[in-house]
Amino acid sequence: MLTPELTQAIFFYIFAAMVLAGGVLTITRRSAVHSAMFLIVSLMGVAGLYLLQQAEFLFAVQIILYIGGIMVLFLFVIMLVNLDQAAKEKQFNGQWWIALVCVALVGAQVFWFLSKGRAAFKIAQPGILPAASALGNTEQLADVLFKEYLLPFEIASILLLVAVVGSVVMAKKRI
Amino acid sequence: MYPITTAHYIALSAALLLIGTVGVLTRRNIVIILMSIELILNAVNINLVAFSQALHNLNGQVFAIFVITDAVAEAAVGLGILIALFRNKETVLADEVDLLKW
């Protein structure tokens, strides 16, 4: 019997498998183009997880901005920078021990918190469910973004301006 | 295994964060290090959206938007630095750029 919970669980595991398999393949492939392709698979899995949690606006942003914007930027840079030489060399440096220690520490923490269950998260109580509001996710998000977070929003626009100017200055031969 | 709770999302996001961390710490190619940073930022976003959904509060999704903005800025500047580095040193391997290493 295909209940809504079961359907949600099936889709969660499909998207989680996409995210994790894409992530692992991203950091293990030799060719940077292959890495970028698997990173796109991973990002599409994350977009599916947003859709699963009724965050439709973030789903669209993830597809348009991450997959359509950042990944194209990555692919352009891979094209500009000659990676053939780098692909022939050793791909990993000898820092497996540091990575292993990090993974063990963080993994132990997460496992400990998850094994304690809900009591481990002494956080705010869930708010009241908005009474089946007629507004969609995008409109609600716009309300919060442009009322409570207007100043951070404007600061983010300045950050983007600085990043644009900075990247042009970095990448240009002569200013 | 089901129904899916917030804990599932936290476990997934922790796993993705660790994958990204291993990528940053062990890879030599700077392009792939930048991609691993994108993985880490996505793990943060999964967490923010999961808690936003669990608490019926949209602030988490707004913060996810800001994280995505930061990711865009970071990718643009990082790739600009990479192009400048490749022009000057003819390498994209992180451990061959050791001019400031003690």
- Residue-wise pLDDT for A88-112, tens only, equals 778 788 788 888 998 999 889 888 8
Spatial contact of B35 and A23, defined as CB atoms under 8 Å apart: no
Residue with tokens 């889709």: A11
Spatial contact of B58 and B35, defined as CB atoms under 8 Å apart: no
- Assess whether pLDDT exceeds 90 at residue A14: yes
Spatial contact of B29 and B85, defined as CB atoms under 8 Å apart: no
pLDDT at A40: 95
- Residue-wise pLDDT for A54-76, tens only, equals 899 999 999 999 999 999 999 99
- Assess whether pLDDT exceeds 60 at residue A48: yes
* CA angle, residues B41, B46, B49, in degrees to nearest 5: 120
**Per-domain boundaries in chain A:** 1-89, 134-175
State mean pLDDT over A119-124.
64
CB atoms within 10 A of CB B60: 19
Overall number of domains in chain B: 1
User: Does B1 fall in a domain?
Assistant: no
Q: Which amino acid is at A145?
A: L
- Residue-wise pLDDT for B72-86, tens only, equals 999 999 999 999 888
CATH architecture of A1-89: Up-down Bundle (1.20)
In this prediction, residue A174 has a pLDDT band, given cuts at 50, 70 and 90, of confident
Cβ-defined contact of A19 to B76 (cutoff 8 Å)? no
User: Does B70 fall in a domain?
Assistant: yes
Range of the structural domain that residue B44 is part of = 28-94
pLDDT at B33: 93
Residues with Cβ < 8 Å from A128, sequence gap 6 or more? B56
Q: Using alpha carbons only, how large is chain A's radius of gyration in Å? A: 21
In this prediction, residue A118 has a pLDDT band, given cuts at 50, 70 and 90, of low
User: Does B11 fall in a domain?
Assistant: no
Q: What is the pTM of this model?
A: 0.89
Q: Point out the residue among A107, A127, A159 whose CB comes nearest to the CB of B55.
A: A127
What residues of chain A lie within 8 A of the CB of B31, using their CB? 32, 35, 74, 77-78, 81, 83
Which of A13, A19, A139 is the best substitution to test chain B (most B C-beta atoms within 10 A)?
A19
Q: Which CB contacts under 8 angstroms, 24+ apart, belong to A55-59?
A: A55/A137, A55/B49, A55/B52, A55/B53, A55/B61, A55/B64, A56/A136, A56/A137, A56/A138, A57/A137, A57/A138, A57/A141, A57/B61, A58/B45, A58/B49, A58/B61, A58/B64, A58/B65, A58/B68
Rounded CA-CA distance A4/A6 in Å is 5
Rounded CA-CA distance A136/A133 in Å is 8
What CATH number should be reported for the domain holding residue B80?
Answer: 1.10.287.3510
Tell me how close the Cα of B53 comes to any Cα of chain A, in angstroms: 7
User: Does B61 fall in a domain?
Assistant: yes
Tell me how close the Cα of B55 comes to any Cα of chain A, in angstroms: 4
pLDDT at A132: 58
User: Does B86 fall in a domain?
Assistant: yes
Rounded CA-CA distance A152/B71 in Å is 16
In this prediction, residue A51 has a pLDDT band, given cuts at 50, 70 and 90, of very high
pLDDT at A80: 86
pLDDT at A122: 64
pLDDT at A24: 95
State mean pLDDT over A20-24.
95
Q: Mean pLDDT lowest for which of A8-22, A117-131, A161-175?
A: A117-131
Closest CA to A59 of A80, A45, A73: A45
Chain centre distance of CA A113? 23
